[in-house]
């Protein structure tokens, strides 16, 4: 028997019609009742919270992180499935992956269509997630959706409403689910797991990390506003391979001098941030103190900055944590 714990957090997979639109409403037991169980799998449900995932806060995510660690403290548990809204699933999954030190799998899933829909995808996704959690080991935190298995790192919501919602635009597919089997195609390369962070106490709460996007006629106003609002971390979303303007470079340099951690990603769907251009490009931004994020896009780059800020040590050590997290983004193909 595979003993799987399902942690329910809401999302479309738990949503019902509310009169003007859909919203998370069902508890975990109701969600589980929609899906068949893989042969030999038993399930226990933890109702953690029930919200639409755009409403998630860092506090929600840290509660989820600690709950998964508490569940896996039981050696009788064979794996964990997290049902989650798709809008921010990639962020929660990556945060958990950065702190996941167990061989047992934690598998995120959800749906694009609400609970009870005649053509709903939730039951199939949940079945596949349970199967993946019971059959895989040593792959970190995973996302199972539409018959595909993705590594948490690098995976983004690539389709707003289509059923095959998730992909890593810069990497090969991790695996597939079908006919009662899970086929793993590659092994993700993951950094050394980070220690479990402490829960930030009120009134300060978790560190603020903002995202600023560059565009034609873009200036440093929003980046400076984020610093003025108390951001301890900023993700700058550049154009192309990670480019902006000399004015933005100056703002990044000033922010870093004030102790703000700045990461540099790109608004382009695939490919790494690369130091090619000057006159405000990635060459100058990195020289000003921005840390390039490789192929991580803004939501997960923000999670990397958050995790570094939550780690122990001084500013220099936290900077090393961020660079270590961002440097480990490769993969190993599994021979056919």
Catalytic residue among 12, 58, 86, 136: 12
Residues 6+ apart with CB under 8 A from 289: 252, 253, 255, 256, 257, 262
Burial class (CB in 10 A: 0-12, 13-18, 19+), 188: buried
Beta strands in the chain (DSSP E): 2-10, 15-17, 22-24, 41-51, 79-83, 106-109, 141-145, 148-151, 156-157, 166-167, 175-178, 181-184, 186-188, 209-213, 233-238, 261-266, 291-292, 331-333
- Apex CA 266: angle with CA 264 and CA 269, to 5°? 145
**Distance between CA 114 and CA 235 in Å, rounded?**
32
Residue 34 annotated as catalytic: no
Helices (H), 176-281: 221-228, 246-257
Q: Would you say 149 and 61 are in contact if contact means Cβ atoms under 8 Å apart?
A: no
- Apex CA 6: angle with CA 2 and CA 8, to 5°? 175
Q: Would you say 273 and 264 are in contact if contact means Cβ atoms under 8 Å apart?
A: yes
Which of left, alpha, beta for 180 (phi over 0: left; psi -120 to 50: alpha)?
A: left
* Positions marked active-site: 12
């Amino acid at each position: 028997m595979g003993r799987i714990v399902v942690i329910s957090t809401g999302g479309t997979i738990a949503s019902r019609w509310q009169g003007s639109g859909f919203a998370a409403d069902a508890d975990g037991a109701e969600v589980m009742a929609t899906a068949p169980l893989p042969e030999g799998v038993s399930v226990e449900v933890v109702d953690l919270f029930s919200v639409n995932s755009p409403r998630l806060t860092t506090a929600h995510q840290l509660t989820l992180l600690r709950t998964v660690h508490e569940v896996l403290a039981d050696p009788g548990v064979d794996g964990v499935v997290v049902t989650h809204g798709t809008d921010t699933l990639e962020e929660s999954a990556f945060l958990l992956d950065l702190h996941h030190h167990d061989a047992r799998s934690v598998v995120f899933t959800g749906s694009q269509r609400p609970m009870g829909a005649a053509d709903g995808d939730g039951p199939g996704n949940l079945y596949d997630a349970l199967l993946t959690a019971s059959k895989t080991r040593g792959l970190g935190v995973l996302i199972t959706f539409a018959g595909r298995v993705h590594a948490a790192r690098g995976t983004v919501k690539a389709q707003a409403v289509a059923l095959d919602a998730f992909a890593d635009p810069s990497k090969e597919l991790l695996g597939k689910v079908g006919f009662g089997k899970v086929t793993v195609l590659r092994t993700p390369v993951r950094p050394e797991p980070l220690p479990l962070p402490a829960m930030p106490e009120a009134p300060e709460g978790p560190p603020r990390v903002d995202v600023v996007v560059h565009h034609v006629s873009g200036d440093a106003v929003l980046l400076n506003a984020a610093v003025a609002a108390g951001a301890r971390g900023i993700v700058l979303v550049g154009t192309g391979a990670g480019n902006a303007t000399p004015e933005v470079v100056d703002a990044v340099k000033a922010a870093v001098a004030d102790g703000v951690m700045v990461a540099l990603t790109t608004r382009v769907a695939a490919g790494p941030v690369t130091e090619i251009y000057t006159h405000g490009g990635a060459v100058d931004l990195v020289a000003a103190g921005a840390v390039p994020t490789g192929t991580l896009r803004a939501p997960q780059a923000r999670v990397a900055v958050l995790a570094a800020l939550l780690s122990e040590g001084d500013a220099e050590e936290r900077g090393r944590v961020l660079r270590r997290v961002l440097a480990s983004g490769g993969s190993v193909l599994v021979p056919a």
